[in-house]
Structures are given as structure tokens and as C-alpha cells.
Chains A and B, each alone.
Chain A
């Protein structure tokens, strides 16, 4: 390939999505027609992801299970990714297109930053992701739904912010916490019961871990801590210092402590921590 130079009228500007559309016009998936309409064979689906605000920013966490119908497709899939230095994106839904969307989103944010010399605002990033979800709508209509969760540290206001999406690309800012995926409802309820303003880092991580635990307890598609294989959910924080994924050990400790408390309590639920 030659040097990608464009005449002024056709220049894609700082948009990476527009750039690859110019270089590969067939890339967007065609809308379903009578000819290609049909049931898509079972593909891996990612399940529960959560995000909640705390004093210094946002905590984001996601389980590791991917399912194909009633089969466990992957046990160690990752669903929480850094979008750029100060934001993170988590995905639920059809795993293949979702991971592809994250890759495009990450490239888009970095591309914009390099071409323009400044990073997008958090609002701008959330909007970009919304457009990508909307462009995915034809595939969502065929059953390959992708619903991301986006959060970041807003350098202008100095606080963490969370955005949720629907399949049409509509995005909504959540006040304090959000969860999506098949176990999202249970996770959200758990966070709702434990959330307080200005939570500390450790408390908010504990709450995110508990939310995933409860989701896995109620939802078969959500994976809990896999103590046998040593696979634990991905937990990350986004603060003024940037995206930071927690060490596996710290997550493992948090889950082990939670499991112990539950066992001592007779193995039944009950929010106490």
C-alpha cells in the first residue's frame, strides 16, 4: 500500500473509522436482505460487566465466562479493556463483534489523539462509541447484539463518569453505577444495596467483586471465581492516574475473602460483608 494521502475534499479527517471505510468500502457489514437473512449459528456471548463510581474515579469489572447457548465456550475471556489512558470499555453480547468493536474504538481514540494532537473529551469518546454501536445495528438485528459499558475519568471535571448503551447506539450517562449483560440485573441490585457516595478504592472494589459474585450465583451464563483453575474476574480502576488493571493476586484475595465470609455464614446470601 502507498502513503495514504487524500485530496482535500475526500480527507477522512481524524476519524479512523472513516479512513478504513475509504480504504475498504466493503467493510461495514451489509444489512440483512431476504437472501442472507437466516439464523446465525451459535456464537460465543460475553455476559456480566459492572462499573461504579468511587471517590477517585471509577471501578470496572467483568466476569470471564463466554457461553454458546448452554455450553461454556471460554473460561478466561476478557471483557474489560482500556479504551485509552483515562477511559475503559467493557462488553457484553456476541464476543467476536464486541472484541472487534473494542479494537476499532481503541484505535479510533488513539488515532484522533495523534492526528489532532489532543485527546477527545470524555463526552466525545462516549459519543464515538455510540456511533459504532449504531453502525453495528444490522448485525444486532441478526442476533449479534453488542452492548458496551463505557467509563472514564473526566479530566475537565475531575471525576469518574459512566455511560451505558442500547443496541441503537443510544447512550445515557448513569449517575453512580451501571451493569449490563445477562447477570446485569443481579449485579446492579447488589451495587444498589451497597453503594455510598465517596466510597474508598478498596470498598468499591469489594462491592464490584460482590456484585459479580451475586450475578454468578443467580445467572448461569455468568462465571464466578474459578478457584480450581485460579481464574478470577478482571477488575480495573480509572482515576486521574489513568487506567490501572488490578493484579490477579489482589482480585483473588478479594474473592477468597468473600467466599470465606459466605461459607462462615452458612453458605447462604445476605449482604453482610
Chain B
């Protein structure tokens, strides 16, 4: 086989985009949405220890889908950036917008200049205080940045999930309602996600300085359970073992053995 001397830039970009999209679509999706007291992030993730959602700073959370090692490296860089900035200046000077821009620059740089693009999609969420609104920055593998103020969906099959979330979305809804709707949107009509399949965290105004908190298994079961009793039992629950698309060993933390059921 001979190496081609010239490949059109369009073709190079297209190939890279396709490669990255494929990698991201292999993993499971994630939804973040604004609710009455803060921001809710729900990820389909059976692992208890390899997190997709984490704390960056007082009011800033990070979430990633795709290749675990790649988005985790970005997460740590984000913590370092935020802590350094807060230490050098003041805690209130740390904002999500500048961090999201840095991520976008980095992802764009890697996408155009490196052999392999990063197979990740990330979200930087910032809780609004003092009259500022909550902000969700969605950054794609090639550095495209979009800001949302209601909800964001990351991962494969985002369109169908987005449609489901958009349909259920209500302004200023309570945490349990938002959680049930986002979990249902992630699951789709054919399966049910159990607390053991989910990683859920919130940025809540009531938590004081560090707004980030993970919802424990019990808490999750309780919040989800409230609605399940009243909802029509139209969909048969699929066993947790059969849930989700076939996962690839190289893509994030899917298929982890730490399932609790």
C-alpha cells in the first residue's frame, strides 16, 4: 500500500470528526439540567469510583463523556486552573466561562494539529448566584462551545434524548421531578435505569460555599421511587445487566464490575 501524497483538508477533518464521534457514541450519555435550587447532572455510569461528574470549584462542576482517561485529564487541568486562579486572585474571580474557553481552545488545538482528536465531549456547569443565571457550557470534541441555560445532553444519540428532555422540561421544577424526567429521557421508552446504573450530582445554592454534592444510592432511590409508584407501568423494566448499548472496553468506565445489584 502506498501513502497518498495529498489529502484534501476537508477529508482529513471529516475523518477525524467521524473517528471522534464514533468513540463518543460508544459510551453512554449524560444529561444536565437546571432546576429550582441549582443544577442537576445525571450520567449513566455503573461505576462507583470512576466518575463522569466532578467538582471543579465552589460553584463549578465538570462532566465528561467518551474516553475516561482523556476527559479525566481535562478535569484535573480544570481543578488546577481554578485553584491556581482562586489562590492568586480571589475565589469569586474563578468563573466557568474562562475555563470553558480554555477547554474549547485546547480541544480545537488537538483536533486540528494532532494525529488523533480527543474522543470526549465535556460540560462545564456554573451555578448562578447574586441574580446571575445558571450556565451550562457544552464543549464538543473539536472545540465547538455552546452555552445553554436550560439543559444539555452529551454523548451518543443526543438528539432523541434532547427531544425527550425538551418535552418534559419545566421552568423551576423540583429536584425529584427533574431527576425522574432526565433519568426517563436517558433510559428511553424501552428500559428503566436503576439507582445503581446512575451517577448523579447537583450544584445547589443551599449547600453553602462548595455547592457540589453527589447524591448517594439511597437518596437516589428515594427521589426516583416517589414518581415510579404513580407513573403508569407502561414500560417493562429491563434488567440492569442488559441496559445500555454494547460497551467497548476502551471507552470510559462502562461495563464496570462495581454494580450494586
The one of B79, B85, B87, B105 that contacts A114, using a Cβ cutoff of 8 Å: B79
Choose, from A47-55, A104-112, A226-234, the stretch at the interface: A104-112
Interface residues of B (CB under 8 A from A): 49, 51, 54-56, 73-74, 76-81, 83-87, 102-103, 105-106, 210
Q: Determine the residue in chain B with the shortest Cβ distance to A107.
A: B87
Stretch in A16-24, A87-95, A146-154, A173-181 touching the partner: A16-24
Q: State in angstroms the CA–CA spacing of A110 and B86 once bound together.
A: 12
Residues of B within 8 A of A19 (CB): 80, 83-84
Segment 117-144 of A: residues with Cβ below 8 Å from B? 117
A41 sits at the interface (CB 8 A): no
Within the assembled complex, what's the spacing in Å between the Cα atoms of A88 and B126? Answer: 28
Summarize B's interface: helix, strand, loop or mixed. helix
Q: Which of A1-46 contact B (CB under 8 A)?
A: 1-5, 16, 19-20, 23
Interface size on A, residues (CB 8 A): 17
Q: Give the residues in chain B near A4, CB-CB below 8 Å.
A: 77, 80-81, 84
Contact residues in B for A1 (Cβ distance below 8 Å) = 81, 84-85
Residue of A at shortest CB range from B49? A117
- Name B81's closest neighbour in chain A (CB-CB): A4
Tell me whether B102 and A114 are in contact (CB under 8 A).
no
Once A115-B79, A117-B51 are accepted as A-B contacts, the answer to whether A3 and B103 lie under 8 Å apart by CB is yes
Knowing A23-B84, A107-B87, A110-B83 touch, does A5 contact B77 (C-beta < 8 A)?
A: yes
User: Are A115 and B76 neighbours in the complex by a CB distance under 8 Å?
Assistant: yes
Within the assembled complex, what's the spacing in Å between the Cα atoms of A268 and B86?
49
8 contacts between A and B (CB under 8 A): A3-B81, A3-B105, A19-B83, A19-B84, A104-B87, A114-B55, A114-B56, A115-B79
- What chain A residues lie within 8 Å of B74 (beta carbons)? 3
Residue on B with the closest CB to A104? Answer: B87
Taken together as a complex, chains A and B put the C-alpha atoms of A103 and B91 apart, in Å, by 11
Q: A3-B81, A114-B79, A117-B49 are in contact. Are A20 and B73 (CB under 8 A)?
A: no
Distance in angstroms from A146 CB to nearest chain B CB is: 18
Which A residues touch B80, using CB under 8 A?
Answer: 4, 19, 111, 115
- Can you name 5 extra interface pairs (CB under 8 A) apart from A2-B105, A16-B83, A115-B79? A4-B77, A4-B80, A19-B83, A103-B87, A117-B51
Complex Cα gap A114–B80 (Å):
10
- Whole-angstrom CA separation of A23 from B87 in the bound complex: 13
Task: Say whether B102 contacts A3, CB under 8 Å.
Answer: yes
Complex-state Cα separation, A91 to B213, whole angstroms: 30
Given A5-B73, A114-B79, A115-B76, CB of A20 within 8 Å of CB of B84: yes
A2 with B102: CB separation less than 8 A: yes
Is there contact, CB below 8 Å, between A117 and B102? Answer: no
Q: Decide if B83 touches A107 in the complex (CB within 8 Å).
A: yes
A103 — nearest CB in chain B belongs to which residue? B87
Bound-state Cα–Cα, A104 to B87, Å? 8
Q: Nearest-CB distance from A118 to chain B (Å)?
A: 10
Bound CA span A255–B144, Å:
60
Output the least CB separation between B207 and chain A (Å): 12
* Bound Cα distance from A117 to B105, whole angstroms: 26
Q: Which residues of chain A are within 8 angstroms of B83 by Cβ–Cβ distance?
A: 16, 19, 107, 110-111, 114
- State in angstroms the CA–CA spacing of A16 and B106 once bound together: 22
Q: Which of A73-113 contact B (CB under 8 A)?
A: 103-104, 107, 110-111
9 nearest A-B pairs in the assembled complex, by CB-CB distance: A4-B80, A3-B102, A114-B79, A3-B77, A3-B106, A111-B83, A5-B77, A107-B87, A4-B77
A107 to B94, CA, bound (A): 14
Highest count of chain B CB atoms <10 Å: which of A23, A107, A114: A114
Q: Which residue of B lies closest to A84 (CB)?
A: B210
Cβ–Cβ < 8 Å partners of B55 in chain A: 114
CB–CB A20/B54 < 8 A: no
Return chain B residues, CB-CB under 8 Å to A2. Answer: 102, 105-106
Q: How far is the CA of A1 from the CA of B81 in the complex (A)?
A: 9
Which A residues lie within 8 Å of B81 (CB)?
1, 3-4
A residues in contact with B87, CB < 8 Å: 16, 20, 103-104, 107
B174: min CB distance to chain A, Å: 26
Residues of A within 8 A of B210 (CB): 110
Instruction: Name the residue on A nearest B83 (C-beta).
Output: A111
